[in-house]
Amino acid sequence: MIKRLLQSLCLLLVVLGFNACSSDDNSNMTGDEQTFVTFWINDPQDAKIEEIKQMTIYLTELNSNKKTELVYEGDKKIQKALPTGTYDITVEGVITHKVNGVVEESKVGNFIKGVVISGREMTKAIDIVFKTSSTGFVIEEVFFAGTKTPQGLQYTDDQYFKITNNSDEVLYLDGMLFVQSKFMTNDKQDYTPNIMSEALSAGAILQFPGKGKDHPVEPGKSVIFAENAINHREFNSNSIDLTNAEFQNFRDGVHDVVGLKAAKMITIHDELVVNIQGSYAYALVKMPEGMTTEKLVVDNIYDYEYEMIFGGEAYPSVDSAIKIPNSWIVDAVNLGIADEYMWNVTSPSVDMGYTYITQHVGDEGRYGKAVRRHVLGKNAAGNNVLKDTNNSTVDFAPAVRPSLFKY
């Protein structure tokens, strides 16, 4: 114990000593030498800057601890005469760039350590990377439409969700909830009381299995949550092999078959039947400390009523859902059919828009298509940064080829 304490003290002394040295260095270099620096802004990886909306470079001279702020004025460069020295550089800004031909606005930034600025003139290229707006899991892709068999019939068991760690750290899915909304995006009713501003009304609630650290997801990496983790090509040659999915839906029904490798989701409330038209919202939810699924299904019951208008008559109806406070929601996406879409079934603070596969009901072209989040670019670690502005209309690319359909 004493030995440990002594070690710590020694370390402290060493640090203090270094500190004294650097101060000395600083005082040694108090000359008037200036360097005229031109900072060039490089394009982020896999993207091309259309326009720099705003950008600020924060410089900290390490010896004098003197701070300088340079504001971008145009021409993809910032020029300034700076005292010669060693600088830490932080860049922050907003740029526009094209994603799939559409101009997007994104936050960018970077941190560059220990840049020596010396000489009469100097040019320094500044690399920028996209900044992640969310720092957790996102639903990257939803494949809900199913496929068509060679005989032209529908096959739906190959649906899947792709969940991606859009942060810079390892995250764990253990104990998180996967929620399907109770309300449908193509059926707007005056549900009373209206709790949408504070909570999502959940129908099916599933829980990811695990004791806490059983299901880690590395930054930028994804997991597949499949309707059924088997090789669907056995039943439909136009489908895919989902044997390697990490999770699968498990409905305790009579006839269901489940894959052997994927972990079964735990059904907490109702059962998840993924609608082949979309028409629901899906959310990833992290319960706060102290909340359990047992408590959730008892304490958070939400009884509501509405008058269903049908054929010129109003039918008073009642139903129940489970309240999921908006603050628990990590990510959410509203799905619909463009022609039928009526409203979002989440609060705008969670999702302001919706995404779709088809324009109209019965579109045969929907089979084998998915919705997928736009990739903004690569971050500093070389991982894709997914667009997450809490607006599925702009965050998602509608009707794209699912990422697992590789052949």
Partner 1 sequence: MLKHFTIITRPTQLTIIILSLFIHFLSYGQNTRSPISIKVQNEYGVAIPTAVVMIKSDKESVLELTDEAGEVAFKLVPDNYLLEVQHISYSFYSQKLNTLTHNNFTVALKAETNQLEEVVITAKEGTGLTSTSVINRRAMQHLQPSSFADLMELVPGGRAQDPYLGGVNKIQLREVGRVGSNIGGVGNKQYDTSSLGTLFVVDGAQLNSGANLQYTYGYMDNVSSGVNKNINISSGVDMRTISTDQIEKVEIIRGIPSVEYGNLTSGVVKITKKSGYSKWQARFKADGYSKLFAVNKGFESKDSSFKVNVGLDYLNAKPEPRNDLESYKRVTGTVRVSKDKNLNNGGLFSWVSNLSYTGSIDDAKSDPDIDLTGANKYKVDNKFYSLSNIVTYESRNESFFRSIELQTTFNQRFDKINQTKFVQLEAATALPLSTVDGEYDGFFPTANYIAESVVDGKPLDIFAKVVSAFRYNMSAISTDIRAGIDWQYSKNNGRGQVYDIYKPLDPKSTYRNRAYKDIPAYVTTALFAEHISSAKFGQHGLTLALGARGSIMQNLSNDFTMSGKMYIDPRVNVQWTLPSFMVANKEAKVDLTLGWGQQRLFPDLNLLYPEKYYRDVQQLNYFHSNPDYRTVNYKTTVFDPQNKALTPALNNKIEARLDLNLGFHQLTFTVFKERMSNGFRTMNQYGIFDYKRYDTSNIDHDHIMSTPNKEDLPYEQFNENFLYNVSRNGSRTDKEGIEFQYSSNRISVINTRITISGAWFRTEYGNSLPTYRRGNSNANVNGKPYPYLGLYDEMEPKSKYEQLNSNLLLDTYIPKLDLQFSTSFQFNWYYLAKNEPMNGMPSYYVGVDGELRPYDAEEAKGTLLEQLVIPQHSNADKSRRTPMLMDVNLKLSKSFRNKQITVSMFANKLFTYYAPYFVNGTKVNRKGLRDPYFGMEINFNL
- Which residues of the chain form contacts with partner 1 (CB under 8 A)? 146, 149, 151-157, 227-228, 230-232, 234-236, 243, 252, 254-261, 266-271, 293-294, 297-298, 301, 303, 305, 307, 309, 312-320
For partner 1, the closer of residues 77 and 323 by Cβ is: 323
| Minimum distance, C-beta of residue 347 to partner 1, in the bound complex (Å) | 23
Of 124, 15, 105, whose CA–CA distance to 59 is shortest? 124
Burial of 353 (C-beta count, 10 Å sphere; 0-12/13-18/19+)? middle
Q: How many CB atoms lie within 10 A of CB 189?
A: 17
Nearer to partner 1, 45 or 189 (CB): 189
Give the span between the Cα atoms of 36 and 117, in whole angstroms.
Answer: 9
The single residue listed with the structure tokens 């509608």 is 398
Q: How far is the CB of 226 from partner 1 (least distance, A)?
A: 12
70-79: long-range pairs with CB below 8 Å, 24+:
70/39, 72/41, 76/40, 76/41, 76/49, 76/52, 77/38, 77/39, 77/40, 77/41, 78/38, 78/39, 78/41, 79/36, 79/37, 79/38, 79/39
Quote the tokens at residue 14: 């060493």
Amino acid in the structure at residue 148:
K
For the chain, give the longest Cα–Cα distance: 88
Residue with smaller CB distance to partner 1, 20 or 153:
153
Q: How far is the CB of 350 from partner 1 (least distance, A)?
A: 23
Contact yes or no for 86/115 (Cβ under 8 A): yes
Report the distance separating Cα 204 and Cα 201, nearest Å. Answer: 10
Q: How far is the CB of 238 from partner 1 (least distance, A)?
A: 11
From the list 92, 90, 103, the residue with the least C-alpha distance to 48 is 103
Is the CB of 20 or the CB of 257 nearer to partner 1?
Answer: 257
Query: Closest distance between partner 1 and the C-beta of residue 231, in Å?
Result: 6
Look at the block and give the residue holding tokens 């008073």: 316
Residue among 32 and 303 whose Cβ is closer to partner 1: 303
CB count within 10 Å of CB 19 equals: 10
CB of 257 to partner 1, least distance (A): 4
Q: How far is CA 201 from CA 19, 280, 296, in A?
A: 57, 11, 12
CB of 359 to partner 1, least distance (A): 19
Comparison of 8 and 237: residue with beta carbon closer to partner 1: 237
State phi, psi for 365 to the nearest 5 degrees. -70, -5
Query: Closer to partner 1 at the Cβ: 126 or 265?
Result: 265
CB closer to partner 1 out of 127 and 270: 270
Closest distance of CB 292 from partner 1, Å: 10
Q: Is the CB of 55 or the CB of 321 nearer to partner 1? A: 321
Q: Which is nearer to partner 1, 69 or 303 (by Cβ)? A: 303
Q: How far is the CB of 205 from partner 1 (least distance, A)?
A: 9
DSSP letter assigned to residue 77? E
Least distance CB 289 / partner 1 (angstroms)? 20
Q: How many other β-carbons are positioned within 10 Å of the β-carbon of residue 290?
A: 6
